[in-house]
Amino acid sequence: MKRITRTVRLACAMALAGALLAGCGPSGGTKHGEGALAGTDMQGAAQRADAMFYATVGAIKPEIEWVHDTTTTGSCDVTRYWTVMTVVSPERRGNFLGVVENFWKASGYRIKTVNPDKDMPEIIATSPDGFGIMVTFGHAGQAFFEVTTPCVDESKVAAPAKVANGRTYEGDIPTPNVRSDFWSAQTPVPGPTPSS
């Protein structure tokens, strides 16, 4: 079941990446090697994607545990994935997404989609330099982040340099298993929730 869920998530992510990068560039059909990222290669873009994620989770207080997931590459783009290991209760998901959305707006990102689905809510945004960023809840209420780069110069892509702040897992990443007094609590709190 977990493998099927991960396959479905990856397929959805690839569809999102295709939509964001239609024409090999998310904004105005920017072509390979043009625009703000001219001269940037896939490794540099992957590092920018990593920095976007680290800044986002750095804005989430109290801190959550996360681990690196997969990296996929296209002909000129990279998608990085991260899995949240902290249990975020259904009652706290709105607050979690609200914190993320507010941080992205304050960072100049354009919010493209807010899906308030009760079981699998998500927010999709685009950074000013054309990176797609998404947070979504999936199977067992597990939160996932992904960042897709715009089209850049082809290069090899190394694994993220920063060590995850969560535990290390051999094989498949399990469902969320880290309890938080705040994020795992089963009572709602007043505060930011995603816009509708």
What element of type H or E holds 83? Answer: strand 78-84
More confident site: 68 or 26: 68
Question: Once rounded to an integer, what is the mean pLDDT over residues 21-35?
Answer: 39
- Per DSSP, 21 falls in state T
For 152-172, write each residue's pLDDT tens digit: 999 999 999 999 998 888 889
Q: Where are the domains of the chain?
A: 2-22+38-148
- Confidence at 39, pLDDT banded by 50, 70, 90: confident
pTM of the model: 0.80
CA 30 to chain centre: 22
Topology at the third CATH level for domain 2-22+38-148: TBP-like (3.30.2030)
Of 11-15, 86-90, 136-140, which gets the smallest average pLDDT?
A: 11-15
Backbone torsion region of residue 171, taken as left when φ is above 0, otherwise alpha when ψ lies between -120 and 50, otherwise beta:
left
